[in-house]
Structure 1
Amino acid sequence: MARDLQFPLVRTVGFDGALVTFADRMSENANRAALAFRSEVDHLQWDEVTESSASLGSTFVRFDTQRVSHQQMLEKLQHLIGQKDWYNTPLPSGRKLWRVPTVYGTDLAPQLDDAAAAAGLTPEEAIRRLGQSRVRVLTIGFAPGQPYLGPLGPEFNIPRLPSLTPMVPEGALVLAISQFVLFSGPTPTGWRHVGQTAFRCFRPERADTFPLRPGDELVFTPVSREELQHIRANNTDNTGGATCEEIAP
């Protein structure tokens, strides 16, 4: 069973992949380890590695089986694991802090009140706490450029909805299980729609198609409905009024 496994755990995945798993559930230090380990693999520039990525608590490495065997790759990754305490390793440099104007509640994000009640908070207190939360891009997936963000405070460890919302728009900020997801396109969801932004996570018309990177941090700053409408009317660069700065090492 999962609780009997010893982490970090190194396994092969498919024909040409290896997975280094740091925990069997998402936590801040497991995600930190996954991001730091992936960054180190990229920094080492091993000739046999063709691709890497990080998820909530794991690092995936794709490798050239003509250059290295599965066993050799596993041994190489296991050796790297032993070089340091990855759970307490600093996060990679070059990360950015984004501040994203966000309307909480109203008809633009109609499930804020429900989420607040599930968290045992008033809507006003939920907005205050969510608007002050500084969350990390834990991983990107499900849709192009779409971030999973967290962790939020334990009060927001609320379950998904029992049924799907038929559609939320691009830029929707949704909440469940102590995480935000910022939707990169219109989609059905079982997560609660608590905020609305004009931020675009997927910009195929630009060189920086995916503005967010794992390890970046975001604050979803509360604004009024009127402010968001003004941002949308003048959103020529598709940032949705967001500002960003590099996080100091």
Structure 2
Amino acid sequence: MTDMTDMTDMGDAEADLPSIKAIGVDGVLVSFGAQLSEAANRAALAFRAAIEAEDMPAVLETATSLTSTYVRFDLAGADHAQLRDKLAAMLGRRDWYQAPLPQGRRLWHVPAVFGTDLAPQLDDAAQLAGLSASDAITAICAQPLRVQTIGFAPGQPYLGELPPEWDIPRQTNLTPRVPEGALAVAIRQMVLFSVSTPTGWRHVGQTALRLFQPDRPDPFVLRPGDEVLFKPVTRAEYENIRQRDDAGGAVSEKLV
């Protein structure tokens, strides 16, 4: 493991990671990767779960990004040095890049229509990935994709990673607006939009899933660490789901 006594800044080299860095007056960021990888995302998710299991009185809030764990703490209960020492000790306990993913995760099965006028950039994205449209759909739906983080809009997941051929860039121009439930792709990730918004990501699929439901006690459907498996459906099946099912046809099961 890297020496935890010299982790004030996140360097460019992976040898400098994991790192601990103060964020604002009452925050600390523990970073596990300078760029996204399965191992860095795994470490961030596992480390957050470990912090919550410690039940440290001074910790008020935790969250994860793609490769980091954020901790907000009560200045009346600890200072930066004390929290840093505690987190450094936790980092030294194990190889977090190989840690098991947190308990309590769910696998979501989500119907999606690909292509058609509902998702008009499937052919463009498939061509950039060197695939036919049908092969692109098969690849996207071949295996569950992890919810790597929630961000940009309420309840909005970043999903991944797709195989290397999907390392395609975002558009240089914005699509003026994609609808709620749009499924878009770029840089080996997929975004499932929780709100209607402009985007530079290519719109390849459309779901009827409402990811942000502010009228519910728990307004977010997905959580970091959950997995999503997309199921291709026809346009007619999608329209039927949208009209009759408030859950957008999504069903879930517990993951071990």
CA distance in 1, matches of 2:14, 2:197: 37
Partner of 1:12: 22
- Displacement of 1:208 in angstroms is 2.5
Using the TM superposition, give the Cα deviation of residue 133 of structure 1 relative to its aligned residue in structure 2, in angstroms. 3.0
Does residue 196 (structure 1) correspond to residue 240 (structure 2)? The answer is no
1:186 counterpart letter in structure 2: S
Instruction: Give the corresponding residue for 2:77.
Output: 67
Alignment of 1:212 with 2:228, yes or no, is no
8 Å CA contact 2:119, 2:203 repeated in 1 = yes
1:77 aligned partner:
87
For the residue of structure 1 that corresponds to 2:51, the secondary structure is: helix
Runs of 4 or more consecutive aligned structure 1 residues displaced over 3 Å after TM superposition: none
Structure 2: distance between partners of 1:161 and 1:89: 35
- The Cα of 1:4 is off from its aligned counterpart by 6.8
Contact 1:133/1:152 (8 A) holds in 2: no
SS of residue in 1 equivalent to 2:215: coil
Any stretches of 5+ residues in structure 2 without a counterpart?
1-10
**% identity of equivalent residues:** 54
Distance 2:65 2:92 in 1: 20
3-state SS in 2 of match to 1:195? strand
* Match in the other structure for 2:244: 234
Contact 1:32-1:88 within 8 A present in 2 as well: yes
Alpha-carbon distance between aligned partners in 2 of 1:218 and 1:79, rounded to the nearest angstrom: 34
Which residue in 2 is equivalent to 1:170? 180
Distance in 2 of aligned mates of 1:207 and 1:12: 32
In 2, the alpha carbon distance for the partners of 1:44 and 1:76 equals 10
One-letter amino acid of the structure 1 residue matched with residue 94 of structure 2: K
Q: Would the aligned equivalents of 2:14 and 2:34 in 1 still touch at CA under 8 Å?
A: no
CA distance in 1, matches of 2:156, 2:234: 24
Q: 1:186-239: per-residue Cα shift (whole Å, max 9, x none)?
A: 00000000000000110112223101000000011100000000001102xx31
Shift of 1:134: 1.2
200-209 or 91-100, larger mean C-alpha shift: 200-209
Q: Name the structure 2 match of 1:134.
A: 144
TM-score by length of 1: 0.97
What value does the CA root-mean-square deviation take over the aligned residues? 1.0
Alignment partner of 2:13: what SS?
A: helix
Distance 2:240 2:99 in 1: 42
The equivalent of 1:158 in structure 2 is: 168
2:195 to 180, 185, 193: 185
Q: Which residue of 1 aligns with 2:125?
A: 115
Matched, 1:144 2:147: no
Is 1:243–2:254 an aligned residue pair?
no
Structure 1, 122-131 or 182-191: larger mean CA deviation: 122-131
Name the CA distance, whole Å, in 2 between partners of 1:239 and 1:2.
Answer: 43
Aligned pairs, number: 246
TM superposition score normalised by structure 2: 0.94
* Aligned 8 A contact 1:199 1:240 in 2: yes
Q: Is the 8 A contact 2:23 2:29 kept in 1?
A: yes
After superposition, the C-alpha distances for 1:19-63 in whole angstroms (9 at most, x for unaligned) are: 000010010010000000000000111000000001100000001
Greater Cα offset, 43-52 or 203-212: 203-212
In structure 2, give the amino acid aligned to 1:36.
Answer: A
Q: Structure 1 residue 115: deviation in Å?
A: 0.1
Measure, in 1, the Cα distance between the counterparts of 2:74 and 2:216: 31
Report the AA paired with residue 248 of structure 2.
G
